[in-house]
């Protein structure tokens, strides 16, 4: 019985300790913005490995998600004789939800895990302590550029996902299933609002980018310096990011579209 | 790692496509372009007994062609009427006075829009003018109600 309480208390303390460390780490990283601004080269290298290398994955997934939406939407909407609104359905679901959420999940799997593994391996091979010995702050030099590159890349990736998805839906709906081209676009433009839908989608993807890269960088930095520790940290990055994305998505949707 | 020139090029391309994506969404998918063009033109007012499902930004058409959008829907608390302000594109400035405005529905369950019918006046309508003849939206429940009552009367009289 006492053992139960002991393990509960132990877990609670560990979670609190970790979130405390994470917050301090975030603060240190945000201060590192100066270092990033002074050396934009560091940022560009990271945007390449975080953003550009994820681009292909995002484009291909976006096309298929859009095409599936087009097919599924057509089957349901044609029951009501409302195929014309297919464009609205595809665009609204992509811009509001699927664009930010799915691209953030893919981003966590592709870029987040690689950030964690890279930083974790640096720690396991004592590169981080080596930097500290040379009076180079690894948080500013290693962590901050990766964090800001994720923050910058994520909204672009989500927008590209939505754009490619709308094109995929257009290809299936108009090209294959014979929905009217004019109605597809005009109904879409009549229903999708720039501020309410698209800017909110961009805000969502910014928040997801923030959280995912924060988790990824911190898990890598906080890992146990063994090969097993790195592998666990990588897994944790993907799992925790997915949880955080989906939970935050509900919260943000309730704030943006709910009537509270 | 690749040479820094190709790397920078790739990043530039990525940012370019990203900005392109956001602008594509803004211009092609959303109503941003309609919002910009909506600020010009002149304003007309129509009063309706019932606007049904008419919304702000619903189209205003004449002969089936869209010439403007609904800008504002308000309730006149003294006359118990709906006041609809619409902005008409300045290209179409030859609406004669005495024109009428009606609320129609596109398709059975489609969106509602305002259809204008040119009148026989000599002068053209100006900024802030009001339509004298209007026809409210058809509310499906009212029509069904009327139909049921008339059926009941028929049965009774037989």
User: What's the whole-number mean pLDDT along residues B78-97?
Assistant: 88
- Does B19 contact A at CB distance below 8 Å? yes
User: What's the whole-number mean pLDDT along residues A55-77?
Assistant: 93
Lowest mean pLDDT among A18-22, A39-43, A186-190, B144-148: A186-190
- Does A193 contact B at CB distance below 8 Å? yes
Q: For chain B, state the CA radius of gyration.
A: 24
**What pLDDT does residue A205 have?**
93
Verify whether the Cβ–Cβ distance B32 to A185 is below 8 Å. Answer: no
Burial of residue B34 (CB within 10 Å: 0-12, 13-18, 19+) is middle
Verify whether the Cβ–Cβ distance B29 to A193 is below 8 Å. Answer: no
User: Domain range spanning residue A202?
Assistant: 22-253
Q: B46 near B72, Cβ under 8 Å?
A: no
User: What's the whole-number mean pLDDT along residues A59-77?
Assistant: 93
| Confidence tier at B3 by pLDDT (50, 70, 90) | low
Residue numbers in A near B8 (CB within 8 A): 44
Q: B129 near B87, Cβ under 8 Å?
A: no
Q: What angle do CA B120, B126, B130 make, to 5 degrees?
A: 70
pLDDT in tens, B115-147: 998 888 888 888 888 888 888 887 778 888 888
Quick check: is A228 in a domain? yes
| Higher-pLDDT residue of A10, A179 | A10
Name the residue of chain B whose CA is nearest to A166's CA. Answer: B29
Distance CA A66, CA A59 (A): 11
> What ipTM was estimated for this complex?
0.80
Residue with tokens 């890992």: A223
Q: For chain A, state the CA radius of gyration.
A: 21
Verify whether the Cβ–Cβ distance B25 to A189 is below 8 Å. Answer: no
**What pLDDT does residue A240 have?**
93
Q: B43 near B127, Cβ under 8 Å?
A: yes
The domains of chain B are located at: 4-30, 41-145
Residue with tokens 């309410």: A196
pLDDT in tens, A33-46: 888 888 888 888 89
| Confidence tier at B109 by pLDDT (50, 70, 90) | low
Q: DSSP of B80-149, one letter per residue?
A: TEEEEEEEE-TT---PBTT-EEEEEESTTTS-EEEEEE----SSBP-TT-B-SEEEPPPPHHHHHHHHHH
Lowest mean pLDDT among A71-75, A167-171, B152-156: B152-156
Residue B86 pLDDT > 70, yes or no?
Answer: yes
| Confidence tier at A256 by pLDDT (50, 70, 90) | confident
Tokens standing for residue A3: 């053992």
Quick check: is A6 in a domain? no
**What pLDDT does residue A245 have?**
94
Q: A190 near A87, Cβ under 8 Å?
A: no
| Distance, C-alpha B80 to centroid of its chain | 22
Helix axes A113-124, A227-257, angle to 10 degrees: 150
Residue of A48, A54, A155 to mutate, testing the B interface (most B Cβ within 10 Å of its Cβ): A48
| Higher-pLDDT residue of A214, A37 | A214
Alpha helices in B25-120 (DSSP H): 32-37
Q: If residue B110 lies in a helix (H) or strand (E), which one and from where to where? A: none
User: Which residues does B129 contact at the CB level (< 8 Å), separation at least 6?
Assistant: B44, B45, B97
Residue numbers in B near A160 (CB within 8 A): 17-18, 21
Tokens standing for residue A28: 């240190």
Burial of residue A83 (CB within 10 Å: 0-12, 13-18, 19+) is buried
Verify whether the Cβ–Cβ distance B28 to A185 is below 8 Å. Answer: yes
User: How many domains does chain A fold into?
Assistant: 1
- In angstroms, the Cα distances linking A52 to A1, A57, A215, B11 are 53, 10, 20, 6
Verify whether the Cβ–Cβ distance B18 to A159 is below 8 Å. Answer: yes
Tally the residues of chain A: 260
- Does A47 contact B at CB distance below 8 Å? yes
Q: Cβ–Cβ contacts within 10 Å for residue A24, how many?
A: 12
- Does A185 contact B at CB distance below 8 Å? yes
pLDDT in tens, B18-71: 999 888 888 877 776 655 555 678 888 999 988 887 877 788 888 888 888 888
Q: Are β-strands B133-135 and B112-117 bridged in parallel, bridged antiparallel, or unpaired?
A: unpaired
Lowest mean pLDDT among A3-12, A118-127, B109-118: B109-118
- Among B4, B15, B25, the residue with its CB nearest the CB of A198 is B25
**What pLDDT does residue A233 have?**
92
pLDDT in tens, A88-107: 889 999 998 999 999 999 99
Q: A220 near A162, Cβ under 8 Å?
A: no
Distance CA A116, CA A217 (A): 6
Q: If you average pLDDT over every residue of chain A, what do you get? A: 90
Q: Are β-strands B59-62 and B81-88 bridged in parallel, bridged antiparallel, or unpaired?
A: unpaired
């Amino acid at each position: 019985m006492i053992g139960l309480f002991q393990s509960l208390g132990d877990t609670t303390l560990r979670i609190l300790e970790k979130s405390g460390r994470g917050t301090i780490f975030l603060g240190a990283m945000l201060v590192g913005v100066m270092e990033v601004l002074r050396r934009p080269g560091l940022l560009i290298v990271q945007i390449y490995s975080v953003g550009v290398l994820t681009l292909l994955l995002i484009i291909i997934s976006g096309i298929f998600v859009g095409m599936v939406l087009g097919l599924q939407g057509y089957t349901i909407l044609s029951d009501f004789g409302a195929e014309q609104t297919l464009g609205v359905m595809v665009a609204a679901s992509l811009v509001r939800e699927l664009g930010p959420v799915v691209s953030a999940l893919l981003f966590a799997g592709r870029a987040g895990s690689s950030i964690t593994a890279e930083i974790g391996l640096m720690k396991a091979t004592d590169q981080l302590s080596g930097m500290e010995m040379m009076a180079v702050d690894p948080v500013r030099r290693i962590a901050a550029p990766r964090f800001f590159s994720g923050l910058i890349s994520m909204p672009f990736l989500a927008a590209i996902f939505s754009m490619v998805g709308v094109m995929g839906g257009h290809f299936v709906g108009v090209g294959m299933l014979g929905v009217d081209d004019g109605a597809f676009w005009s109904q879409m433009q009549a229903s999708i609002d720039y501020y309410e839908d698209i800017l909110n989608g961009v805000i969502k993807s910014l928040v997801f980018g923030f959280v995912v890269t924060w988790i990824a960088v911190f898990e890598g930095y906080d890992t146990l310096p063994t090969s097993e520790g790195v592998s666990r940290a990588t897994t944790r990055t993907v799992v925790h990011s997915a949880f955080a994305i989906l939970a935050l998505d509900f919260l943000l949707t309730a704030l943006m579209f709910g009537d509270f | 790692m690749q040479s820094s020139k190709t790397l920078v090029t790739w990043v530039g391309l990525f940012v370019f496509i990203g900005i392109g994506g956001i602008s594509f969404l803004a211009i092609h998918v959303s109503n941003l372009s309609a919002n910009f063009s909506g600020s010009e033109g002149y304003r007309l007012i129509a009063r309706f007994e019932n606007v049904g499902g008419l919304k702000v930004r619903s189209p205003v058409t004449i002969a089936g062609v869209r010439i403007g959008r609904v800008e504002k829907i308000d309730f006149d608390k003294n006359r118990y009427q709906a006041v609809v302000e619409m902005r008409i594109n300045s290209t179409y400035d030859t609406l004669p006075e005495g024109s009428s405005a009606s609320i129609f529905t596109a398709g059975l369950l489609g969106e509602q829009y305002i259809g204008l019918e040119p009148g026989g006046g000599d002068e053209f309508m100006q900024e802030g003018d009001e339509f004298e003849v209007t026809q409210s939206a058809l509310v499906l429940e009212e029509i069904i109600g009327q139909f049921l009552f008339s059926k009941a009367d028929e049965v009774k009289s037989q």
